Amino acid sequence: MVSMKQIIRIAILVGLLVLFATYAMADVLNIVTLGLSPYGYYDKKNATGLSYEVGNKLAEAAGYTPNNVIAPLARAVSDIASGDADIVIMLPSPEVNKVAYNLGSVLYIENVIIGRAETPMRSLREVRGKVLATVRGAKYDDRISKANGIATYPTENYAQSLKMLMAKRVDGVVGPQLGIYHAANKLRVPRRAFGKPLVLSTSPARLFLSNMTVTPERVRRLRQALDLLLENGTIKSLLEKYSL
């Protein structure tokens, strides 16, 4: 027969375990990384990538344990909106701006249009009447629109966009130059197959914190961590690691 003292001891032990588990969960930062190479991808079944590594470094510098998953753009925004993910690094868009708190710029991305070598894109005027492959849900430049005479074809990633370009199913690819060339390298498509990139803009990829999980403490810790990684060169060194 269990005595009252034993019952009290068991109750205290259970309470402590619940407390420790709650504390541990509070220190976990759920990160969603866009599944776009080289920002987030799998190398021999291991998750890696520029944004993946930066996200982990940010969490650790802020005193959190990172729980990082790679997901398509649409799911990433959905997870941020629901609070299933705490942070994401991505270009600003109307969708993410509505559901997340902007903590600042992490790195800068050069957005370009790339055509085939025989049909280079030298100006936006030459792009009019053409079809560009673009990652589904991404917004790289407001001038890329039907109103400006430019049609877009949604794809899942840069690799699919490039495959459609080389198959002559689209006239060009729009997106980050680093991402496009990284995908071309993995597909073993030489750069001479492309025309000179038409630079559209340089945009900041920002750190977004879900409105569902935002707290003053998280904002403070993550901003301090971001400032630290920018100042000590950690983000710069990671960017150089993934640049081709």
Helix (H) or strand (E) holding 221: helix 216-231
Residue in 235, 242, 240 with CA at minimum distance from that of residue 89: 235
pLDDT over 70, % of the chain:
89
pLDDT in tens, 99-143: 999 999 999 999 999 999 999 899 999 999 999 999 998 889 999
Q: Which amino acid is at 204?
A: P
Q: Which domains does the chain have, with CATH numbers?
A: 4-108+204-242 (3.40.190.10), 109-202 (3.40.190.10)
Does this model's pTM top 0.85? no
67, 31 contact by CB (below 8 A): yes
Question: CA-to-CA distance for 175 and 34, rounded, in angstroms?
Answer: 14
Please state the φ and ψ torsions of residue 71, each to the nearest 5 degrees.
Answer: -150, 155
Neighbouring C-beta atoms of residue 114, cutoff 10 Å: 26
Amino acid residing at 179 = G
pLDDT tens profile 31-48:
999 999 999 999 988 999
pLDDT tens digit sequence for 3-62: 555 555 555 554 444 444 444 445 999 999 999 999 999 998 899 999 999 999 999 999
At 44 the pLDDT is 87
Question: Do 215 and 197 contact (CB within 8 A), yes or no?
Answer: no
